[in-house]
Chain A
Amino acid sequence: QSALTQPASVSGSPGQSITISCTGTSSDIIAYNYVSWYQQHPGKAPKLLIYGFTNRPSGVSDRFSGSKSGNTASLTISGLQTEDEADYFCSSYTNIITIFGGGTKLTVL
């Protein structure tokens, strides 16, 4: 089964921007499918940040943005804030099946 690869951890300082990548192991898992991003704080349910590669649901800060290049999707967080420290997961939706990346822990130094 195809998989999504994310870096285990990233870090940044308040005010900086960081980018988290999500790479598909098969040629089309990212390129032709619907990618979403989620934020999860400890002990809480995940929160949808980005859908359809670049779209934000109502109420999500515009500091969060998504992009795609080839078989890699990316989540960029600008103007880092301490409350952004959390786990971030990407997902790909293909043929009704949803696959998640392993998650990235963001530390705000």
Chain B
Amino acid sequence: QVQLHESGPGVVKPSETLSLSCSVSGYSISSGYYWGWIRQPPGKGLEWIGSLSDSDTTYYNPSLKSRVTISADTFKNQLFLKLTSVTAADTAVYYCVRDLQFYGSGSYVYWGQGTLVSVSS
């Protein structure tokens, strides 16, 4: 059973960098599939942030591309998200996800429980 668990600070100051980690159990991220991050501002819809492929290639939402970095530590079986220069608009629940299909399909079958990050001074 694949399980994902996000962790990170609940509050980040404006203009600083948001850093989250996602611990994966039940599957080795080095074995394949696309892994990624999706966020949801309180009371609003979902926004895809980006994905990391099995070949270590990253794909980002064009609207966030200049501020986002997604990476992984295959030894620790963790996925990471960094978002720089945050503003209040980055306040959201951040989800770690895994794609259903090995080569990527945009269908996310595994989700973490989500972690709320608030941007506030």
Contacts and interface: CB of A to CB of B under 8 A. Distances in A.
Secondary structure of the B contact surface, majority rule: loop
Contacts of B59: 96-97
A100 B92 CA distance: 16
Interface in B8-64: 38, 45-48, 51, 59, 61-63
Give the size range of B's interface with the partner.
20 to 34
Contacts of B46: 38, 46, 89, 91, 100, 103
Contact of A96 (B45, B104, B112): B104
B2 to A, nearest CB: 13
B106 A46 contact: no
Interface string A65-83: 0000000000000000000
B109 A48 contact: yes
Given A34-B106, A36-B106, A45 B95 contact: yes
A102 B51 contact: no
A89 B113 CA distance: 17
Contacts of B45: 89, 100-103
14 contacts: A1-B63, A36-B106, A45-B112, A46-B46, A46-B108, A46-B111, A48-B107, A51-B109, A91-B46, A96-B51, A97-B61, A97-B62, A98-B51, A101-B45
Given A36-B107, A93-B106, A97-B61, 18 more contacts: A1-B62, A34-B107, A36-B105, A45-B95, A45-B114, A46-B95, A48-B100, A48-B109, A51-B109, A52-B107, A57-B100, A89-B45, A93-B107, A98-B38, A99-B48, A100-B45, A102-B45, A103-B45
